[in-house]
Amino acid sequence: MKKLYVYLPILLGCAFFSQQHVHAANSSFFKDVLPGHPNFDIIHEMQELGVINGYGDGTFRPQLSISRQHVALLLTRTLSLEPIRGRKYFNDLPETSVYHDAIQQVQQAGIMDGDKNGDFNPESLLTRVQLAKVLHLAFDLEIKATYDFHDVPESHWGNSHVRALYSNGITMGDGGLFKPLGTVTRLHYAVFLHRLMNIDERFVALPIEKPEPTKPKLDALSPIYVKGILIASKTHPLPINYAPGESTEARIAFNELNKLAKKNGFDFTAFSTYRSYSYQEKLFEDYVKKDGLVEATRYSARAGESEHQTGLAFDVGLVGQRSQWFSVTKASNWMGENAHRYGFIVRYPKGKEEITGYIYEPWHLRYLGVDHAEKVFASGKTLEEYLGIE
């Protein structure tokens, strides 16, 4: 394990995360983490130690996601990091950034790195599997058991990192799933750090239970918007009663898109648009019976997690042609190059399953409006990357 600073709690206290977090460590309970909260004891202990602070209104905001730059800063104030490789300069990290030195330290320590374009993406959010990698490397955890979560199989790039956390009792998962694409919240990070600070050397990991199809926890939910865009995903489910029907605006845009397509020799049809919660529930259950849970979650959404429930997702194909052949046609290439002109994006691009959570689906279009669609297309990013979410 890399060397911890002598008095960890004091140093950690200033890392969650800015000066606006002025709620004192010795004050009363956080308003949003009261007795009865499942992690109350951990949060309260970390608060008393000065490891975490809250906001000026007395809240901790446990569900607030954290970014790469915050994780880097926290690590440098937690561990004495030794450089093992040369310094790399990132295009989006000016020397004037308050996070510059911390990011350079974790990069040289081999814990975090940038992307293929030379960017660090300091404000992007971390997924759970990305955090697993960071903590595995930062704390030099030994892999003590080879049990795997069903959504992080041995073939997954993050498998060894998740094994390291699970075999040391740092993560327990959720019903046999790790949910690798979920974002990391302040609560997640606080709990993981608490466990890392209190590792039980006698801990013995048990085999991971087999997950069963379950409904997302949809009580008290409301639709989530980021930059004005409605989100429906594995980590941002919609309420059961959210039922807008097919978007009229999206249908008009699709019809206009198809007019252009016909001029270029293609005639598209939208064979699946709005789906209700109950319809998606039955559809997903059928897919699980056919292919098993793990495989079904690669190409189908649980009820509440489907973009079709927004009324803004259009599955398209050529008139008179079976949909499964769409991915190998010139029509799919044409659609991918032109859909943004009318406000659509190909929601699940090729080679992006680790980010989107789904296999390549050239037929699945998502309506964002022309402004956002053109920006997403020009960026070459997935919607998750464009919005900085999981």
162 vs 157: CA distance, rounded Å: 10
CA dihedral sign of residues 8, 134, 176, 215: positive
CA-to-CA dists, residue 189 to 15, 128, 242, 381, angstroms:
11, 10, 31, 27
CB 344 within 8 A of CB 366: yes
* Residue 158 CA from chain centroid, whole number: 14
CA-to-CA dists, residue 14 to 5, 93, 340, 351, angstroms:
14, 22, 44, 39
Residue 364, CB half-sphere, CA atoms under 13 Å: how many?
Answer: 17
Which residues are known catalytic residues? Answer: 361
